[in-house]
Amino acid sequence: MKYFIGNWKMFGIPKSISILKKINSFYSIDKNRNKYKVIFTPPFTLLESYSQFFKKKYLSIGSQNCYQKDQFSSNTAAISSYMIKKVGAEYTLIGHSDNRAEGDTDVILKDKIKFALKNNLKVVFCIGENKLEKRKNKTFRVLKKQLKKALERKFNKKKIIVAYEPIWSIGTGRTPKAKELNKTIKFIKKVLKNIFKQNSPAVLYGGSVDEVNVKKFKEIDEIDGFLIGGASKSSKKFIDIIKNYYR
């Protein structure tokens, strides 16, 4: 199964649902439909209405983050996996570099994953090195640490997807070379196999994915899909990414 996940970040108001309706219309009649899943992560403000609208449709909805506690707590503005699940969402991103930059540590992220799984959300766990780490050849060391510190063998790996998003590639138009990306994804899968003592969960790539460079990425068998930021705000671009991937 391949995944095309659109992360809207701080974008969207109620009527922006028209973008997702167009994507869902394409998805529901696409001849390749059974080969992939389409998931969108709108902001918290839209989670309930969008989740309810797409409940019996093909497209799935998830949140962009969740709080590291179960059910309810006294943390102002915090939103738990329990609350996310109860409004109908099915997925949550965890560990996006934006949230790591705001203070999410490996310990916090592990709790987030634990409570998300407990509340029956599927987790898209994001990892990635920054520019300096890459320049210093520390990429593998950083990725291994991010995976080992937050994931545990006892977690249900069927409910976990890993998204590799090099920070230097997010929103910059810069992407890794195909050969290099292939090696990195293989390395991530090796680490995941080691953690779970069985097959690796799906590993996606994210960072400046668009309808043009997806043609380069599709040559890399190891990639199980994409986490798409900027290009997911346009129904045409998002649909073209899927079309070009299967062309």
Would you call 102 a catalytic residue per the annotation?
A: no
**121/170 with CB nearer ligand 13P:** 170
Nearer to ligand 13P, 225 or 230 (CB): 230
Cα-based distances in Å from 57 to 39, 52, 112, 161:
12, 10, 28, 22
Rule CB under 6 A: which residues touch ligand 13P? Answer: 7, 96, 165, 170-171, 206-209, 227-231
Helix (H, G, I), strand (E, B), or coil: what is residue 68? coil
Nearest to residue 224, comparing CAs of 43, 39, 29, 90?
39
Q: How far is CA 78 from the centre of its chain?
A: 20
Least distance in Å: CB of 96 to ligand 13P? 6
Nearest alpha-carbon partner for 167 in 207, 226, 195, 135: 207
**Are 49 and 14 in contact, with CB atoms under 8 Å apart?**
yes
Candidate list 129, 133, 165, 211, residue with the active-site label: 165
As given in the structure block, the two tokens for residue 80 are 């738990």
Partners of residue 4 on adjacent β-strands? 38, 226
Handedness of CA 226, 232, 238, 244 (dihedral sign): negative
Nearest-approach distance from CB 171 to ligand 13P, in angstroms? 4
Please say which residue, 62 or 229, places its beta carbon nearer to ligand 13P: 229
Cβ neighbours of 17 (radius 10 Å): 18
CB of 41 to ligand 13P, least distance (A): 8
Report residue 179 as tokens: 């050969």
Nearer to ligand 13P, 188 or 196 (CB): 188
* 76: DSSP letter: T
Tell me which residue has its CB nearest to ligand 13P. Answer: 229
Least separation in angstroms between residue 234's CB and ligand 13P is 11
Burial class (CB in 10 A: 0-12, 13-18, 19+), 221: exposed
Min dist CB 7 to ligand 13P, Å, is: 4
Residue 15 is encoded by which pair of tokens?
Answer: 């009527």
165 classed as catalytic: yes
Closer residue to ligand 13P, CB minimum distance, 96 or 100: 96
Catalytic residue among 96, 129, 133, 211: 96
Could you give the residue numbers annotated as active site?
A: 96, 165
